[in-house]
Amino acid sequence: MMSSSVLDSMHEVMRGLVQHHETKIIENVRYTIINNFVVFPVNPEHIYNANNDIHDIEIKNEAGTNIGMLCLTSQISNIEISKLTDAQVAALVYESLSNFYGNIPGQYKNDYVCINTDDILDYISTMETSAIWGGFCHISQSEKIVNFKLSSDNHPIITKSGISPPSNRHALSAYRAGVHSGIKERFLSLYHCLEIDYDYEALNQIKNVSFDDTSKMWEILNGTQREEIHRLTHLLAGFNDISFINNHLEKKLKTFEDVIKRIFFDYGKASNPFSDWDEFEACFINNPTINRIEVEKIRKSKKYPGENYTADDIKYKTRLIKLTSYFIYRTRCCIAHNKLGDYYMDNDDDMQFLSEFIMPLLLNMIYYRFKV
């Protein structure tokens, strides 16, 4: 928190920079005008990087006329008033008027679009689609997006030894997951590690097969044509820590019952190894202790039809691996696709579910595949 004397000094500096300031209602929206610019705060997480000392990018209309600037002000490491452009000055005044004091005087909080007042109607007519044509998003728009991040108060970071990406492609995909701030983007990059791993395994199998062994060669090549969920199930078939899956389901299924029913059953697909919600709810969600023996007791008492997947440990493991693959794969589809027939994950509880339920499953499968 800044002292009152520092704030008073900053207000004095800001007053010296203001040549003109007003708020104006244009098409039923109130805008801030500073020094002949209409100023819009922009989310600093976008595609642009400042080149040396160039922190302003021209914004032109389709006729080629300059109508303003995108100011990459959040990337200015130390504010020197004398070196600021007119647009950057307007942005700095906006930050002061908006009480964005957290980073001043060392750094701006946001990036800004500063539009010439004479061209504001031109810009307003297009600004709703700036994420498409401009690669940036106004703060007012980005606030509509669920931006889930982990809390620092109850999530210790635990190192993991004995794992290594099998190839550079695996490693790059993992690295991408580390630079994404969004939980959905992080999930997709980690999921790519498993996609890459299937092809990596198939290629290594081919290397070890004689070209004259046409039967084995065909078996491997034919396997690469599998549907993606079957590829995933194949990759995870050797995962033997079934107690981890049991414990994870036992701890988390009840918490996320509504989300699980919505995503995997209401919007379910034929690849779901549990087509009957009532059976899944009785055997797993309402079951206080999840393991083969306890699930078998419920199945026998309820006389559920179909394959007896609790008959022995191998069948039970096979069913849980199929279930884990289905959870991970359908989550991928509900993030990567946004079409009729598919659920699109975009709510607060979806993000909580993704973080606390799906990500631990995915990460443990990656640990298994990356084990050295």
Q: What pTM did the predictor assign?
A: 0.78
Residues 6+ apart with CB under 8 A from 288: 250
- Per run of 10 residues, the mean pLDDT along the chain (length 372 residues) is 48 66 78 92 87 89 93 90 92 80 64 95 89 86 66 72 92 88 89 93 77 66 76 95 97 96 95 95 97 96 93 97 98 92 89 94 95 88
Residues 6+ apart with CB under 8 A from 76: 50, 55, 88, 107, 108
Q: Phi and psi of 287, rounded to 5°? A: -90, 115
User: How far from chain centre, in Å, is Cα 294?
Assistant: 36
Residues 42, 139: contact at Cβ < 8 Å?
Answer: yes
Q: What is the DSSP string of 297-355?
A: HHHHHHT--S--TTSSHHHHHHHHHHHHHHHHHHHHHHHH--STTS----SHHHHHHII
CA torsion through residues 281, 236, 326, 149, sign: positive
CA distance 231 to 229: 5
Identify the CA nearest to 89 among candidates 101, 80, 98: 80
CA distance 333 to 299: 30
User: How far from chain centre, in Å, is Cα 285?
Assistant: 27
Which pair of tokens denotes residue 157?
């970071």
Burial (CB count <10 Å: 0-12, 13-18, 19+), residue 318: middle
CA distance 281 to 71: 53
What is the DSSP code (8-state) at residue 250?
H
Q: Is 31 helix (H, G, I), strand (E, B) or coil?
A: strand
Q: What angle do CA 169, 170, 171 make, to 5 degrees?
A: 90
Residue 297 CB neighbours (<10 A): 14
Q: Provide the phi-psi class of 148: left if phi over 0, else alpha when psi is between -120 and 50, else beta.
A: beta
What is the structure's pLDDT at 13?
60
Which pair of tokens denotes residue 225?
């044509």
